[in-house]
Amino acid sequence: MIEENVSKILAALPEGVELVAAAKTRTPEEILRAADAGVKIIGENYVQEAQRAFELVGHKVKWHFIGHLQRNKVKKAVKVFDMIETLDSLDLAKEIDKRSAQEGKIMPVLIEINSGGEPQKFGVMPEETERFLQEAVGFKNMKIKGLMTMGPAFGNPENARPFFVETKNLFDRIKSLEIPGVEIHYLSMGMTNSYKVAIEEGANIIRIGTKIFGPRG
């Protein structure tokens, strides 16, 4: 099942688009099966779950953090993850920078955009992104590589399209700033029900859970 799902998704993936298997609540064994089927990147929402899966799967895949990262988890997170997709505050940037320096690492991050402007959700508001970026580029042990968004949840993925378009426009705008030392390359958006729309609108990372592993229990 997992193997078949991964094969189907990978076979239909346009060139230049990377698949992240969103693995929250899945067992290390399920994650290993996805890896063996060809998944190159695992997305984890929880540091502890990732540590457990990492023990089994290790460096066979890259690990992306895609949940809300609490500052007291950053020290552990920088040991496991190859990218943090959910940078959403300067306090968090400061902590990632500090802990990455202690690990002798430079951590790639994406800025999480609250594209729906929803006050109860995490992420930088679209209109604040440029200023946020200017303030966050100064950290030496953290490298901003692009943007990530969830967007509001919809039954019909067409309703997500305007939020993907807005995030792509932001992506193009910050790319065009050509800030020295900053290479804006990744745009992570789209999940099981919306990834096709997201790819049409310029996503080059998609994060898929249900369509790989089945419904969450």
Ligand X SMILES: *Cc1c(COP(=O)(O)O)cnc(C)c1O
The residue to which tokens 């190159």 are assigned: 40
Encoded tokens for 179 = 């800030």
* CA distance linking residue 187 with residue 62, whole number of Å: 17
Beta pairing partners, 132: none
Q: Is 159 in the site for ligand X (CB under 6 A)?
A: no
CA atoms within 13 Å, Cβ hemisphere of 125: 6
Looking at beta carbons only, is 45 or 141 nearer to ligand X? 45
Looking at beta carbons only, is 38 or 137 nearer to ligand X? 38
169 contacts 177 by C-beta, under 8 angstroms: no
Among 24, 73, 75, 175, binds ligand X (CB under 6 A): 24
Residues 63-122 that bind ligand X (CB under 6 A): 66
Q: Is 23 in the site for ligand X (CB under 6 A)?
A: no
Looking at beta carbons only, is 6 or 150 nearer to ligand X? 150
x/- mask, ligand X, residues 172-211, rule CB under 6 A, reads -------------------xx--------------xxxxx
CA distances from 127 to 88, 124, 182 (A): 14, 8, 20
Instruction: List contacts with ligand X (CB under 6 A).
Output: 22, 24, 45, 66, 150, 191-192, 207-211
